[in-house]
């Protein structure tokens, strides 16, 4: 039985390139790492809106050739900052890589348990923490994530000196328990990519000046000025209302909210250009009161 435990891939993992010697083409290495980093960033966008992830390569080593990849998280430190869901992103990418490659030639058996999910194909078994498995189901709906993982397969398989890849937890770990041969990488890379939809949703960090506030939790839309344009959007951030009802802040017209803004867009069938059709404030990171003039007294300010 060959087993991969995805729980080992929390904040770091090692990409193992199976080569005949301890060298690798620089372009192959760079292209693979860039695609992998893009996949991690796309996953983080889905899981940790409003937070940033940086993918760094801390060490390179033989084995046949290995690259140690680490995820560094950061978020705004203010009243509304939530705890970043760390330890999931690299696990999601690693899990998705094995899910895609195991399913190439035959169907896999998926056993969902309370705390973990077991994905099995023949003698190969991937054990996935339940929270990582559930997060993967969310992230795989992001076309940018799927495309980036596919580019990872393409980059590694384009070099005929790379016989395959795999993931291990540490630089000095034994070879991957479940190696992914080059033939499998080529087959997965050839699978059709998700087609662009006529509608999409993107997120953006934004500063919104309040025109009209809804001072109770509801689906009613606030009015804001964003980039000089008036927009309407509900505020759906739970933590924001908890702090608001605790009277830790006061809201007034003219104040500014630093937010993660979800923008729903629709594609024009003639031009192919996406235009904004709806907005939603999914997370509030900070509140900036409007500068108000202080009254003068006989003695001055």
**What is the per-residue pLDDT for 199?**
83
Residues of the chain with pLDDT under 50: 77-82, 296-297, 299-301
**What is the per-residue pLDDT for 50?**
65
Collapse the DSSP code of 188 into the 3-class scheme (helix H, G, I; strand E, B; otherwise coil) and give the result. Answer: helix
**What is the per-residue pLDDT for 86?**
61
**What is the per-residue pLDDT for 80?**
47
- pLDDT tens digits, 144-184: 899 999 999 999 999 999 999 999 999 999 999 999 999 99
Within 10 Å of residue 236's Cβ, how many Cβ atoms? Answer: 15
Element (H, E) at 208: strand 199-212
Which residue from 167, 281, 267 is spatially nearest to 219, judged by alpha carbons? 281
Q: Strand 180-181's sheet: what is its strand order?
A: 51-62, 65-75, 12-18, 164-168, 180-181
Contact 54, 69 (CB under 8 A): no
Phi, psi of 182 (to 5 degrees): -60, -35
Threshold 0.85, pTM exceeds = no
- pLDDT tens digits, 265-281: 988 776 667 899 999 99
Task: Kindly report the length of the chain.
Answer: 301
Distance, in Å, from the CA atom of 293 to the CA atom of 298, rounded to the nearest integer, reads: 16
Contact 44, 53 (CB under 8 A): yes
**First vs last C-alpha separation in the chain:** 78
Distance, in Å, from the CA atom of 41 to the CA atom of 52, rounded to the nearest integer, reads: 8
Contact 26, 2 (CB under 8 A): no
Residue 226, phi-psi category: left (phi > 0), alpha (psi -120 to 50), beta (remainder): beta
CATH 2.40.50 applies to domain 199-288: yes
Domain-wise residue ranges, the chain: 2-189, 199-288
**What is the per-residue pLDDT for 271?**
64
């Amino acid at each position: 039985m060959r087993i991969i435990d995805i729980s080992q891939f929390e904040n770091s993992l090692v990409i193992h390139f199976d080569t005949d010697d301890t060298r690798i083409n620089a372009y192959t290495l760079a292209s693979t790492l860039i695609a992998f980093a893009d996949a991690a960033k796309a996953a983080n966008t889905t899981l940790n809106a409003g937070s940033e992830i940086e993918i760094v390569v801390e060490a390179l080593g033989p084995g046949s050739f290995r690259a140690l990849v680490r995820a560094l998280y950061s978020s705004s430190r203010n009243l509304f900052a939530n705890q970043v869901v760390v330890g999931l992103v690299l696990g999601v990418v690693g899990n998705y890589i094995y899910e895609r490659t195991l399913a190439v030639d035959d169907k896999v058996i998926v056993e969902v348990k309370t705390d973990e999910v077991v994905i099995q194909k023949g003698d190969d078994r991937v054990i996935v923490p339940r929270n990582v498995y559930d997060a993967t189901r969310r992230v795989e709906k992001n076309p940018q994530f799927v495309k980036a993982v596919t580019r990872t397969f393409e980059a590694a398989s384009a070099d005929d000196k790379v016989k395959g890849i795999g993931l291990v937890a540490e630089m000095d770990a034994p070879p991957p328990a479940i190696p992914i041969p080059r033939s499998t990488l080529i087959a997965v890379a050839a699978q059709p990519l998700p087609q662009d939809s006529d509608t999409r949703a993107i997120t953006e960090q934004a500063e919104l000046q309040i025109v009209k506030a809804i001072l109770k939790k509801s689906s009613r839309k606030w009015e804001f000025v964003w980039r000089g344009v008036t927009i309407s959007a509900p505020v759906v951030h739970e933590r924001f209302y908890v702090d608001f009802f605790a009277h830790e802040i006061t809201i007034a017209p003219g104040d500014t909210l630093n937010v993660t803004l979800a923008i729903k867009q629709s594609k024009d069938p003639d031009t192919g250009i996406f235009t904004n059709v709806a907005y939603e404030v999914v997370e509030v990171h900070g509140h900036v009161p409007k500068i108000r003039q202080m009254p003068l007294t006989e003695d001055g300010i």
